[in-house]
Amino acid sequence: MSERISVFGTGYLGATHAAGMAELGHEVIGVDIDPAKIERLSRGEVPFYEPGLPELLRRNVESGRLRFTTDAAEAAAFADVHFIGVGTPQLKNGYGADLSFVDAVIETLAPLLDRPAVILGKSTVPVGTAARLAARVRELAPVGDEAQLGWNPEFLREGFAVEDTLRPDRLVLGVDPAVPGRIEEVARRVYAQALARETPFVVTDLATAELVKVSANAFLATKISFINAIAEVCEATGADVTDLADAIGHDARIGRKFLGAGLGFGGGCLPKDIRAFMARAGELGVDQALTFLREVDTVNQRRRQHVVELAGRAVGGSLNGARVAVLGAAFKPDSDDVRDSPALDVAGTLHLRGARVRVHDPEAMDNAAKVWPTLDFVGSAEDAVRDADVVIVATEWRQFRDLDPAVVGSLVAHKRIIDARNCLPADAWIDADWSYRGMGRHAA
Ligand code: UDX
């Protein structure tokens, strides 16, 4: 059965969710305060890079099941289910999450609800936020208790956002057990296809649903920092972290995923979510429970410094005037997102240390240039590596993994490569006479 749905926020999360819901057969209206974004989306254009999303968006805009507006009143009049998919970035002056966008949606939408409606929050929020918002909705909505809010966290990964939205590995719904309502029934209708495939559906209270999301991200961040910490020990002992990860990954209790040692995690979620989680734990008086996340963050930051130091050592000590090629600016491949990107951070730091840095990324250069306008962005990997004293692979795009060591070798000034994502076939580079450095792997 088709539902009438609105999605507030049309960033990575909201735009993908809106298009995904339309693809599932619902009638969807996407809402954003940014008229430029709405105009582009209405034309069927995705304002960021996400594989598969442009096709999904265009198809559903053309079918008439998906449209976009800046007018919240239009969305309130149209839809019975309202998703919140706006951002919750890190506060400028602290570790906590900036909830102003989420609050603004509630303050705008709730007073417009004059018939029964369900609001489902998707944004990642500090525990306790949903209960506060639920009360605020009841207070502001003309329909009172018939306007109900639940929390339905989102686990989509950039690069796989379409797949994760259409075929999630689990669904989580938080409801206030003290307020009997229709939220679960409505969510079951919205996600009918996934539930028919027996996708696990965890229905719980609001606080648990909020904590599920941040705990999942904290766990992933911890797993990455764990293997990166082990990589440090491997480097000190001549051991190889890739073999080690394969070996421990065969243990089903551990698993091989997210044991990729390298430059560490970045992006719009993991770094800010672990910081917001620590900040919230502090407010709740349980800061000690999460002090280990500070170490997770520190290990992660240390990766970036380590790569800068390796580059310095590779060029003989001083980066001043050294020609460095940085391949990659996005925080991970198949994304144009440079938020808290380890790759871009390394490029920027090298530049500040006096190196002559050339950067290439297949998709993220426009976004990167907004953050670091003084870096030299070039149109191809070949242009980036020409005459370089050292090459750093900082994001594991397929284009970089497939580079031919002989061809690249003919372009550079010195055959020195730092594989900061452990993504290259080390033997092939070494056989082609390169001085190869991996992360926690046997040094050549
Ligand atoms: C993450 C979560 O995976 C997703 O469930 C949540 O909804 C949002 O945050 P995303 O930010 O898209 O998704 O990226 P993810 O694929 O998780 O990677 C995060 C970072 O970790 C990237 O910088 C990646 O390069 C790094 N990473 C990942 C590693 O360094 N090693 C690994 O083994 C895996």
Q: Indicate which residue's Cα is closest to atom 20 of ligand 1.
A: 265
Probe target for ligand 1 pocket from 90, 152, 157, 274, with the most ligand atoms within 8 Å of CB: 157
Q: Distance between CA 362 and CA 399 in Å, rounded?
A: 8
Which structure tokens are listed for 173?
Answer: 């719904």
Strand-pairing partners, residue 359, are: 326, 377
| Beta carbons within 8 Å of 93's beta carbon, 6+ residues apart | none
269 is catalytic: yes
pTM (global) more than 0.75: yes
Q: Indicate which residue's Cα is closest to atom 28 of ligand 1.
A: 258
Pocket lining for ligand 1, CB < 6 angstroms: 154-158, 217, 220, 224, 258-260, 262, 264-267, 269-270, 331-332
Q: Distance between CA 395 and CA 397 in Å, rounded?
A: 6
Residue 377 alpha carbon to ligand 1 centre in Å: 25
Residue 431 alpha carbon to ligand 1 centre in Å: 32
Residue 436 alpha carbon to ligand 1 centre in Å: 26
297, 218 contact by CB (below 8 A): no
pLDDT in tens, the chain (444 residues): 799 999 999 999 999 999 999 999 999 999 999 999 999 999 999 999 999 999 999 999 999 999 999 999 999 999 999 999 999 999 999 999 999 999 999 999 999 999 999 999 999 999 999 999 999 999 999 999 999 999 999 999 999 999 999 999 999 999 998 887 899 999 999 999 999 999 999 999 999 999 999 999 999 999 999 999 999 999 999 999 999 999 999 999 999 999 999 999 999 999 999 999 999 999 999 999 999 999 999 999 999 999 999 999 999 999 999 999 999 999 999 999 999 999 999 999 999 999 999 999 999 999 999 999 999 999 999 999 999 999 999 999 999 999 999 999 999 999 999 999 999 999 999 999 999 999 999 754
Q: Indicate which residue's Cα is closest to atom 6 of ligand 1.
A: 155
Residue 292 alpha carbon to ligand 1 centre in Å: 19
Residue with the two structure tokens 């970089």: 400
* Domains of the chain and CATH, by start: 4-199 (3.40.50.720), 218-437 (3.40.50.720)
Probe target for ligand 1 pocket from 163, 167, 224, 299, with the most ligand atoms within 8 Å of CB: 224
Half-sphere exposure (Cβ direction) of 250: Cα atoms closer than 13 Å: 5
